A = this chain, B = another copy of it.
Amino acid sequence: MSIQTRRERERADRERLIVTAARELAESEGWDAVTTRRLAAEIEYSQPVLYSHFKGKDAIMAAVAVQGCADLAVELRTAREGASGPRAHLAAVGRAYTAFALRRPAVYDAIFTLPVDLPFATPEAPEPLQAAFGELLRAVTPIAEPGDEPGLLTETYWAGLHGLITLMRSGRLPAREHERRLSLLIAHFTAGHG
């Protein structure tokens, strides 16, 4: 079995190598620079090996998204734990979310904007995605009013954050006022929860 396990281990190593190379290349030069040829050169293999690990370029991006989402979940959690009170929780998580999106735009896009077919709002969704949403849910639930479904309220708050990010990143909203818009969003979701 030793020979077989060594092969599988090397294969798994190379798969990680592909995903991290794709992420680093995307973070340093944008997703447009992540071509299959360029990525193959980066890992010092030929193009077709990519397709022996992943179904296609989309699958590689999906892997980057899942891995990056785990990072996001951690950052959301630590942000929430560093604040106290419902309103502070919501604000801290919202700021951590947008900070992540601005600091790592390529990863954020892989997770939330690029058309990569990952199951999202279903039980089959990858664990990191559910973890990240769970962190949002924990921050939003305490400010839900009676009759509000926490899940739906979380999705709505999330949409607000996502809209701010995407419109600003594409130049449709001026970046200068981002902080004030974010504060407005938080304020309107925490009305009456001083």
Contact = CB atoms under 8 A, between A and B. Distances in A.
A95 to B, nearest CB: 15
A113 interface: yes
Q: Is the interface of A mostly helix, strand, loop or mixed?
A: helix
Interface in A156-189: 156, 158-164, 166-167, 170-174, 177, 180-181, 184-185, 188-189
A158 B152 contact: no
Number of copies: 2
Contacts of A159: 160, 163-164, 167, 173, 181, 185
A75 B156 CA distance: 24
A3 interface: no
Interface residues of A, number: 35
A85 interface: no
Interface of A: 112-113, 115, 117, 120-121, 148-149, 152-153, 155-156, 158-164, 166-167, 170-174, 177, 180-181, 184-185, 188-189, 191-192
16 contacts: A112-B167, A113-B166, A115-B170, A120-B172, A120-B173, A148-B184, A149-B180, A152-B180, A152-B184, A153-B184, A155-B177, A156-B181, A159-B160, A159-B181, A188-B189, A191-B192
